[in-house]
Structure 1
Amino acid sequence: MPFPAADAPVTLDRREGPFGEVVLRRRGEGDEKVYEIIANGCFLMDTSDGRSERLLVDAAYRAIRTGNVAPRLLIGGLGVGFSLAHAAAMPSWRRIAVVEREEAIIDWHRGGPLAAISGEALGDPRCVILHTDLVSHIASTADPYDALCLDIDNGPDWTVTEDNGELYSPAGLAACQAVLDPGGVLAVWSAQPSAAFEDALRNAGFTGVRTEEIHLARGVPDVVHLAVRPA
C-alpha cells in the first residue's frame, strides 16, 4: 500500500450535519502540522496564519464608539479559534460570545486537535460558545453587543451555504444592526473587497463604512468590512 505524499492532507474527522458536510484535515507533522476546516467541499480556513482572524477583532475594537469601558463582543463562527483566542487575550472585553452552528467544530475545540489554540480561552469566564445558527441568534437574542465580528464565510459574495446569504441581505443587516448598541461595530471578514456590500451596509443605515486590507505573507490581501450603528 503506497504511503501518502508528505504534503497530502490527512482527514481526521468527517461529519454530516444539518448544513452539510464538515471536515477536519491535517497537513504535515510535528511543529509543521497545519489543520484545515472544509465545509461542503469549500476551504474555510486553516491554522497556518491567524493574522487576519486576529486583525478582524482588533479592527472592530478600534472602531467601537459606544463609550463602554469594557465592551461586549459577539463572534460569528468559531473556525480554528484564532479570533476567540485573540479576544480572550485582551483584558478589555467584558464578555465574548461565539456562535457556532457546527457541533463537530465545537468538539474539535473541546478536547480535540484545535484545543491547543482555544483551550485557554474556553476556560475564561468571560467566554461562552453558543451552539446555534447565527442568523437565528441575532434575530432572537436580547443581549446587546458593542461589536459583532463575522467570519462564517469567505465573504459576503462567497458564502459557504446558500442560507448564509440571508445574513448579508437587507433584513440580515438590519438584524445585525439591532443586536448592536448605538455606536457598536459590525466587522465582516472577506477574502476580497466588495463594493456592492459596502453599498448594502450604507443602505441598511450603517455609518462609517470602510474596508481595511490585511496583508498576508503571500497572495492578495484579505479585507475587513467595517460599519458603525449610528448613535
Structure 2
Amino acid sequence: MTAVSTRHGDDAPVTVERRDGPHGEVVLRRRGEHFEIIANGCFLMDTADGRSERRLVDAALAALPPDRPAPSVLIGGLGVGFSLARAVAEPRWGHVTVVERERAVVDWHRAGPLAAFSGGALADPRTEVVVGDLVAHLHAPGTRYDALCLDIDNGPDWTVTDDNGGLYSPAGLAACRARLTPGGVLAVWSAQPSPAFEEALRNAGFAGVTTEEITVARGVPDVVHLGVSAA
C-alpha cells in the first residue's frame, strides 16, 4: 500500500467506477497512466510504484527455510495487485491465498483495468481468492500458512479503519502466530518504520524480528516488518 498519492504533472483524476459496499464507498480513479483506489474518501494506494509491495512477498519467501517444499502464503489485501502478481510469478510458492474485503477491487482485477497489474494472477491454479475481512479471517480457525504478507493499512501506526487496529495488538499477533506453520513468517508492510511494532512482535513471541527499508521517491522509506514463528 502506497501511503501518499503520487501526483503526475497536472493530470486531474478521472473516476472510472464508484461502488457502495458493505464497508462504505470505494472508488477507482485514473490519473494519467496510473490508477488509484479510494475508500470512504481516504486514498489507499496507486499503481505508480510497486517495489515495496513486491518486496513484501520476496522478503517473506527469503525468510523461510530454502528446503521447505511448496510453501503457502496468505496475502492480506489485493490492492492494485503488485504483491499477488509477484507471488504467482515465483514458482516456489505452492499455494497463494489473497483476502480482500472489497468485492469491487476483486472485480476490477477480474474484468477491469487493474487486471493489467495483477497480470492474470487470479486465474493461476495456485491462487485462491477470499472476499472477506482479513482480521476476522485470521481469528477464525482454518488453514495454516507458511507466510502471512499483510498490507491492509498504511502501517501498524496508521490504520485505514479503527477495526484494523486489533490486527497489531497482542491478540491480533497471537492470531497471526496461530495461523502460521512452525517456522512460518509474518511480513507486514508499513509506510514508515515502527519501533513500537518491532517490540510488539518480540513480545508476541516472534523471533528474528527485522525491518527492511525500501527507498521511495519522496518522504521516509517504506518498510517491511518481519518476524518468524517458533519452530
The residue aligned with 1:16 is: 20
**3-state SS in 2 of match to 1:78:** coil
Residue of structure 1 equivalent to 2:4: none
Mark the structure with the bigger radius of gyration: 1
Whole-angstrom distance in 1 between the partners of 2:40 and 2:162: 11
CA contact (8 A) 1:66 1:184 kept: no
| Alignment-mate amino acid for residue 85 of structure 2 | A
Query: Which residue number in structure 2 is paired with residue 42 of structure 1?
Result: 42
- Which residue identity lines up with residue 56 of structure 1 in the other structure? L
CA distance in 2, matches of 1:164, 1:42: 15
Show the counterpart of 1:118.
118
Partners of 1:65 and 1:178 lie apart in 2 by 19
Q: Is the 8 A contact 1:66 1:182 kept in 2?
A: no
The correspondence of residues 26-175 of structure 1 with structure 2, limited to 5 A, is: 26-28=30-32, 33-65=33-65, 67-175=67-175
Report the residue type matching 2:97 in the other structure: A
Deviations 1:41-65 (A, max 9, x none): 2221111111111011001111114
Match of 2:197 in 1: 197
Q: 1:97 to 1:125 in 2, by over 3 A?
A: same
Q: Decide whether the 8 Å contact of 1:40 with 1:160 is kept in 2.
A: no
Q: Distance in 1 between matches of 2:206 and 2:67?
A: 18
Shift in Å at residue 216 of structure 1? 2.3
TM-score by length of 1: 0.92
Q: How far apart in 2 are the matches of 1:198 and 1:41?
A: 30
Distance in 1 (alpha carbons) for counterparts of 2:121 and 2:193: 30
* 2:217 maps to 1:217: yes
In 1: Cα distance, 2:153 partner to 2:188 partner: 9
CA contact (8 A) 1:214 1:223 kept: yes
Q: TM-score, normalised by structure 2?
A: 0.92
Contact 1:75 1:97 in 2 (8 A): yes
Whole-Å separation in 1 of the counterparts to 2:67 and 2:175:
22
Give me the identity figure in percent: 71
Superposition deviation, residue 132 in structure 1 = 1.0
Question: Is 1:19–1:161's contact at 8 Å kept on the other side of the alignment?
Answer: no
Please tell me the residue identity of whatever aligns with 1:154: N
Question: How many angstroms does 1:68 deviate by?
Answer: 1.8
User: Once the 2 structures are TM-superposed, how far is the Cα of residue 6 of structure 1 from its aligned partner?
Assistant: 4.7
Residue 161 to residue 185, structure 1, CA distance change in 2 (3 Å)? same
Instruction: Return the alpha-carbon distance in structure 1 between the equivalents of residues 174 and 19 of structure 2.
Output: 33
Distance in 2 of aligned mates of 1:7 and 1:142: 45
Q: Which moved more, 1:76-85 or 1:116-125?
A: 116-125
User: Following TM superposition, by how much is the alpha carbon of 1:119 offset from its aligned partner in structure 2, in angstroms?
Assistant: 4.3
Note if contact 1:66-1:181 (Cα within 8 Å) is conserved in structure 2.
no
